A and B are shown apart, each in its own frame.
Chain A
Amino acid sequence: MANKVLVFLEQRNGSIKKSSLEAVKVGKDFADKLSCDVEAFVIGAEISDLEKVGSYGVSKVTHLKNSELAMYSSTAYLKLAIKHVQDSGADILLFPNTSLGKDLAPRVAAKLDCGIAMDCIAFNFGDDIIATRPVYAGKALIDVKVNSTVKIFTLRPNVFNAGEPSGDSANVEINEISDPDLSTKVVEIKKSEGKLDVAEADIIVSGGRGLKGAENFNLIEELAEALGAAVGASRAVVDAGWRPHGEQVGQTGKTVTPTLYVAIGISGAIQHLAGMRSSKYIVAINKDKDAPIFSIADYGIAGDAFEVVPKLIEEIKKLKAE
């Protein structure tokens, strides 16, 4: 049914991202189920510890290398990806569903004129490969089949487990690339003040209108710091200008799947719940005990955030100090 699975690895600052290791593991599962080969490739400048990707299930990694490719260039990455896919003879392509993967994978589909299923969270192997993916920000799921010879799937980060490293090394083949097409090119990355991003954080502390004002978000920031968490926000407080839109969780913000999501002063509008309901554990602190957020929270405190949260910060700090 398949010839070869090819996994695209994303590097930032020369390191392979965790979501790409998850993709390697999924690639290995595909290869086992479909009895075919699996390989990986990466585009970049210097990349450290590339052979360690072998620990997650591939024996061969190709590095398309040029000093100008450290940062993303959609034009260069696309041309190199297309050529590599064609040379490798792969007919199943996996990408992480990250900012870069989401930008690049559909372009590859366009050039190969093949079907693509984005943001997949599960696969079933029968007569066909059935991919499951959320729609309407997670209010529903769909099962889809890709009816083209070459098939592309992008994988939601934090859903598939990369597993423990086996210690195996991959064979790294380096292809020096000359004159990449840099007509569209990232020239600089501005980090958002060294803070964790909600899209990648393992713990998120989010605040809503119940905080009563932008100035009270120091409570949220303090709790986030104590937990080593990212700060999130509801649409209401982003629209009110209390918080930047990059922190917004929900249907017109980010869909998140952290291990722990702490919702403070958030009542739980349907578009917010859609964006965070797949979190592994949900804690809600809200004055209104009938608030919809409690219907999906594992643990709730139906109390005043200004009274509860300082105590929570204190207890967590105490625990961490032990």
Chain B
Amino acid sequence: MKIAVCVSHVPDTAAKISIGSDGKSIDPNGVTFVLNPYDEFAIEEALKIKDAQGGEVVAISVGTDANKETLRKALAMGVDSAVLLKEDKDRDSIGIAKALAEEIKAQEAKLVFFGKQSVDFDNSITGQVTAELLDYNCVTVVVGLQIDGEKVTAEREIEGGREIVETSLPLVITAQKGLNEPRYASLKGIMQAKKKTIEEKTPAPYENMIELVAMKRPPAKQPGKILGEDSSAVPELVKLLREEAKVI
């Protein structure tokens, strides 16, 4: 079975975000970009299925040449091949999904993994939209997955619990932390990844439906009071919570 994993290239979660001079994007200076953390769970799940059942895993990313670094990381983890859908403009999530759906169709992948969201714009749109464009089933925020022939049982995280979902292939899964323990790239994997070619394609043009008007800093939070250095400060804390914050 051919399995596709869609990956994105995002600022590291430890990065400090400052607004760029255009007022519409982040200042990339000093920001390290990495494989989206949730995509690691997506890659691991695809590789686990390949290890168990055989098949082939292709990683796909939409973006600039910079995304090749993230595709190399996927290759180093054990993905068989990688495709970069070259786009120099920022696409909205539906535009990214359209490019991906086109490529997944060409690849004839019947099982597709995404991270549950990219930690840059935190949308959680692309996986579901890609699935609908392909008319595939789709389960999001998945923490457990069992595939038995065409039949699939997935566990998805919801508020205060988990839903057990029954569905079938063809299928899109968006991965949540907890689905598995992503493997580290081996030295051999890293060396092999360097030698592999990343196929480049140009997706069909797309006009954004979402227009970013401005990016701004969140309102600053005023630092409060340090009430003391031991339990003698507790009565004052409780008093403030009760009388000033009115939360208890």
Contact = CB atoms under 8 A, between A and B. Distances in A.
Interface of A: 71-72, 74-75, 78, 98-100, 102-103, 106-107, 109-111, 113-119, 130, 134-148, 183-192, 195-197, 199-200, 203, 227, 244-246, 248, 250-253, 255, 259-260, 269-271, 274, 277-278, 280-283, 289, 294-304, 307-308, 310-312, 315-316, 319-320
Given A99-B159, A184-B165, A319-B242, A141 B218 contact: yes
Nearest to A196: B160
Contacts of A191: 160-161
A185 B166 contact: yes
Contact of A72 (B15, B163, B240): B163
B167 A319 contact: no
Interface stretch (B74-82, B117-125, B183-191, B194-202): B117-125
Given A109-B94, A110-B128, A140-B216, A300 B225 contact: yes
Interface of B is mostly: mixed
B140 A102 contact: yes
B235 A315 contact: yes
Given A115-B209, A319-B248, A300 B224 contact: yes
Contacts of B177: 245, 248, 252-253
B241 to A, nearest CB: 7
Contacts of B1: none
Contacts of A302: 226, 228-229
Contacts of A283: 237, 241
Given A135-B121, A298-B224, A301-B237, A188 B216 contact: no
B163 A188 contact: yes
Interface in B202-248: 208-218, 221, 223-231, 233-235, 237-238, 240-242, 245, 247-248
A220 B122 CA distance: 29
Given A99-B156, A110-B133, A142-B212, A115 B128 contact: no
Contacts of A310: 231
The 3 closest A-B pairs by CB, nearest first: A115-B209, A110-B132, A311-B231
A109 B210 CA distance: 12
Contact of B234 (A99, A117, A308): A308
B56 interface: no
Contact of B125 (A116, A130, A148, A183): A116
B223 A100 contact: no
B57 interface: no
A303 B158 CA distance: 36
Contacts of B141: 99, 102-103
Nearest to A148: B209
